[in-house]
């Protein structure tokens, strides 16, 4: 019932997990015996796992059981629609548009979310207009697994230096790969364009918010628009967005 209830992406995760664990088992006969046990659950599951760990596919499988329950799938779990307690990382660096950071922080905090601004180093960064933006965490001390979403603000001088920071790029890639909402404003959209696959639509004109598979973008400079904030909050309330094409490397 559990296997039958999974969405395709969930089945892929389950197969990958079995391959990861069984691939560390040195004895091929132990791997093979485990595959025979999986075959009693589902023949397709057993065959996919066997293919990835170098053992023969099972010789016999149990008759397919059609029982399923939507309640067992994460796709049916969408919460109450609020973003309370969701944790969002707004990646900042020198030259950041502080108006974008402030507008996002104020709007999401008002809805009960927790917004933090990680940067390459702790302390504060210089804003695009000579102001300062306080840093909540040093980027090397945190990881995207600690957050529910990530947002890339921009600056007035083209693609921000975040694009050259490998820690920041890894942070965004991991968030995307795990189906978390990803947002970008202004020139921050340029950072995403180097990561996101062609199958995900990004904003390409000012004052136009694009939301696609939980990726929300707006190339406009200055504070985040109400359209962007509404779309990003909707992506946050959905929590995860699976079925995305693979991220670029």
DSSP reduced 3-state for 117: coil
Average of pLDDT values for 155-164? 60
Whether residue 151 contacts residue 89, with contact meaning beta carbons closer than 8 Å, is answered with yes
Calculate mean pLDDT across residues 154-166: 65
Fold equal for 2-76 and 87-238: no
Q: For 29-51, what is each residue's pLDDT tens digit?
A: 999 999 999 998 899 999 999 99
| Tokens (6 digits) for 181 | 């909402």
Q: What is the CATH number of domain 2-76?
A: 1.20.1370.20
What is the pTM (predicted TM-score) of this model? 0.77
Q: Give residue-wise pLDDT tens across range 170-227.
A: 999 999 989 999 999 998 898 888 776 678 899 988 889 999 999 999 999 889 999 9
Region 155-162: mean pLDDT is 59
Residues 6+ apart with CB under 8 A from 45: 3, 11, 14, 15, 18, 38
Structure token digits, residue 11: 């089945």
The answer to whether 192 and 184 are in contact (CB under 8 A) is yes
Among 3.40.50.720, 3.10.20.30, 2.60.40.10, 3.40.50.880, what is the CATH number of 87-238?
3.40.50.880
Residue 160 has pLDDT above 60, yes or no: no
Query: pLDDT by residue (tens digit) across 8-36?
Result: 888 988 999 999 999 999 999 999 999 99
User: What are the sequence ranges of the domains in the chain?
Assistant: 2-76, 87-238
């Amino acid at each position: 019932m559990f296997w039958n209830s999974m969405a395709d992406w969930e089945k892929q995760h389950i197969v990958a997990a079995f391959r990861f664990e069984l691939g560390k088992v040195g004895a091929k006969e132990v791997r093979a015996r485990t595959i025979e046990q999986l075959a009693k659950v589902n023949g397709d599951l057993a065959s996919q796992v066997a293919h990835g760990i170098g053992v023969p596919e099972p010789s016999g499988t149990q008759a397919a059981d059609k029982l399923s329950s939507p309640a067992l799938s994460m796709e049916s779990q969408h919460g109450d629609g609020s973003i309370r307690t969701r944790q969002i990382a707004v990646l900042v660096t020198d030259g950041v548009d502080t108006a974008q950071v402030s507008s996002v922080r104020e709007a999401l905090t008002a809805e009960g979310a927790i917004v933090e601004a990680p940067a390459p180093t702790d302390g504060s960064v210089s804003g695009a207009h000579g102001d300062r933006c306080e840093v909540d965490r040093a980027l090397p001390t945190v990881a995207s697994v600690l957050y529910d979403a990530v947002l890339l603000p921009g600056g007035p001088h083209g693609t921000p230096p975040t694009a050259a920071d490998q820690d920041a790029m890894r942070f965004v890639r991991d968030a995307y790969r795990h189906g978390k909402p990803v947002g970008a404003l202004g020139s921050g959209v340029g950072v995403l364009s180097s990561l996101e696959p062609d199958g995900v639509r990004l904003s390409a004109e000012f004052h136009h918010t694009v939301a696609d598979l939980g990726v929300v973008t707006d190339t406009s400079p200055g504070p985040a628009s109400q359209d962007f904030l509404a779309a990003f909050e909707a992506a946050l309330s959905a929590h995860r967005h699976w079925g995305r094409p693979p991220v670029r490397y």
